[in-house]
């Protein structure tokens, strides 16, 4: 089982309908490709984890990277995991706020910032911790 985590910047501040459109496509494609994961959105920034077969993850990441609804993708982590961290989630989704962040140990560094803040880029473990914390 392989996974990757990336952050990106939305092309503009997304409304609920736009976020739902992204999720709808994601969930149907990911179900077909047996990909699971989590997508977080906060103030114009995305953070997403994808997990599944290496080839499926690679293809999905390439497709996602071409999407004009966001840009500046930064791959924070990729690797192998023995089991899925998000079983049953064709794509979990949360919009997050500062209060949510307060409840995540070790996530202080980006609580008031963007997911593309250098703090999270330099310490990508924080990203995985945060994403797991939202799998509840």
Binding site for ligand FAD (CB under 6 A): 21-22, 25-26, 29-30, 39, 46, 48, 50, 60, 63-64, 66-70, 91
CB of 11 to ligand FAD, least distance (A): 9
* Cβ-based nearer residue to ligand FAD, 23 or 121: 23
- DSSP assignment string, 77-136: EEEE-SS-SSTT-SSEEEE--HHHHHTSTT-GGGTTS-TTSHHHHH-THHHHHHHHHT--
CB of 91 to ligand FAD, least distance (A): 5
CB burial readout 82-96, b (16+ within 10 A) else e: eebbbeebbbbbbeb
Q: Which is nearer to ligand FAD, 36 or 110 (CB)?
A: 36
Give least dist CB 105 to ligand FAD, A.
26
Half-sphere exposure at residue 38, Cβ-oriented, CA atoms within 13 angstroms: 20
CB-nearer residue toward ligand FAD: 61 or 100: 61
| Of residues 4 and 110, the one with the C-beta less far from ligand FAD | 4
């Amino acid at each position: 089982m392989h996974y990757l985590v990336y952050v990106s910047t939305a092309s503009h501040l997304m409304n609920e309908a736009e976020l739902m459109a992204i999720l709808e496509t994601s969930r149907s494609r990911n179900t077909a490709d047996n990909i699971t994961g989590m997508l977080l959105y906060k103030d114009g920034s995305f953070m997403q984890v994808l997990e599944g077969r290496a080839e499926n993850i690679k293809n999905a990441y390439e497709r996602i990277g071409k999407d004009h609804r966001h840009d500046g993708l930064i791959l924070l982590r990729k690797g192998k995991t023995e089991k899925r961290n998000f079983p049953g989630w064709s794509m979990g989704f949360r919009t997050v706020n500062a209060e949510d962040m307060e409840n995540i140990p070790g996530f202080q560094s980006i609580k008031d910032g963007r997911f593309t803040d250098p703090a999270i880029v330099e310490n990508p473990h924080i990203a995985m911790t945060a994403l797991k914390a939202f799998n509840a």
